[in-house]
């Protein structure tokens, strides 16, 4: 049995905690607000940035899963970089510091001309928020044994943002490549990585988590619009083939035998659409 801290025990963190507890691990979860934690989780409610070091338990593994309160550079710095500093301060002086899995984003790859991207690709962040993510990854790597878990666009239960846009009739805008991964598959990927970390296996500095099926945004939206029974809202159909975006490959996880339960958006969105239409 290992001691595991999930810093950010929301949707993804709770899903991971349930799987870890099934394996007999001791799990402590931290969330900023609310006191609902999965059964068996030792819950701590509070702002990690202002939390005293002694509140956080010793751990063999730390999983950092933060959610910014906005899409600004300041929000990202507070959610990611500042919380990482707390983890570094608390654990770097341990005789055997825990390995850290930091849930980051594939937005750190600023490549935007349809390039294929995998773990060997150098991150070239183009936005201020992506630059904060890279800063956070680098800070953790300099202080603790860490792996940056770079997830593509996460969708799943309760994540209705794209569906709302399509139903609202908002113009689809220019076509581009898009990459997605279902929430349940992120949880299973994190579980696989946690097991590798606890077994003290050699791991890369960064791992991509995606369904391995890059697709054009218009294709996704057309499929969703048809399923939702709404009309497409494309004002400019001349640029059908996407010229922007990137195409992602999750090479490390696939080599380790991990496979997503939802291999593409067409399987992953079916249950989500049913729930959305029932609301």
Question: How is the chain split into domains, by residue range?
Answer: 3-278
Which pLDDT score is estimated for 279? 86
What is the assigned CATH class of domain 3-278? alpha beta
* Tokens matching residue 181: 């991964």
Query: How does pLDDT run along the chain (279 residues), one tens digit per residue?
Result: 899 999 999 999 999 999 999 999 999 999 999 889 999 999 999 999 999 999 999 999 999 999 999 999 999 999 999 999 999 999 999 999 999 999 999 999 999 999 999 999 999 999 999 999 999 999 999 999 999 999 999 999 999 999 999 999 999 988 999 999 999 999 999 999 999 999 999 999 999 999 999 999 999 999 999 999 999 888 776 667 898 999 999 999 999 999 999 999 999 999 999 999 998
Which pLDDT score is estimated for 45? 97
Residue 267 burial (C-beta neighbours within 10 Å; 0-12, 13-18, 19+): middle
Q: Are 110 and 127 in contact (CB under 8 A)?
A: yes
Q: Are 98 and 87 in contact (CB under 8 A)?
A: no
Q: Are 136 and 80 in contact (CB under 8 A)?
A: yes
Q: Are 250 and 210 in contact (CB under 8 A)?
A: yes
CA distances from 257 to 128, 192, 220, 277 (A): 35, 9, 27, 35
Q: Are 64 and 112 in contact (CB under 8 A)?
A: no
Helix (H, G, I), strand (E, B) or coil at 227: helix
Q: Are 58 and 94 in contact (CB under 8 A)?
A: yes
User: Which of 223, 224, 218, 220 is closest to 237 using CA atoms?
Assistant: 218
149: left (phi over 0), alpha (psi -120 to 50) or beta: beta
């Amino acid at each position: 049995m290992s001691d595991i801290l999930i810093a950010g025990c929301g949707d993804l963190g709770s899903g991971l905690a349930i799987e870890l507890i099934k394996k007999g691990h001791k799990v402590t979860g931290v969330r900023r607000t609310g006191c609902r934690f999965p059964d068996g989780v030792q819950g701590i409610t509070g702002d990690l940035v202002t939390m005293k070091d002694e509140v956080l338990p010793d751990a063999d593994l730390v999983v950092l899963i933060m959610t910014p309160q906005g899409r600004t550079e300041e929000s990202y710095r507070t959610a990611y970089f500042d919380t990482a500093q707390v983890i570094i301060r608390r654990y770097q002086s341990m005789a055997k510091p825990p390995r850290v899995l930091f849930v980051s984003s594939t937005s750190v790859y600023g490549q935007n001309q349809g390039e294929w991207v995998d773990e060997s690709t150098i991150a070239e962040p183009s936005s201020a928020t992506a630059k904060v993510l890279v800063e956070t990854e680098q800070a953790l790597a300099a202080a603790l044994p860490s792996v940056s878990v770079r997830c593509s666009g996460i969708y799943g239960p309760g994540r209705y943002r794209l569906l709302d846009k399509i139903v609202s009739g908002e113009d689809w805008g220019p076509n581009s490549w898009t990459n997605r991964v279902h929430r349940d598959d992120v949880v299973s990927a994190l579980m696989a990585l946690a097991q590798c970390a606890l077994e003290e296996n050699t791991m890369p500095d960064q791992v991509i988590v995606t369904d391995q099926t890059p697709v054009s945004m218009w294709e996704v939206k057309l499929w969703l619009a048809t399923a939702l029974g709404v009309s497409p809202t494309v004002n400019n159909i001349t640029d059908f083939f996407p010229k922007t975006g990137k195409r992602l490959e999750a090479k490390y996880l696939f080599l380790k035998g991990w496979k997503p339960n939802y291999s593409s958006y067409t399987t992953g969105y079916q249950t989500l659409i049913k729930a959305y239409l029932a609301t």
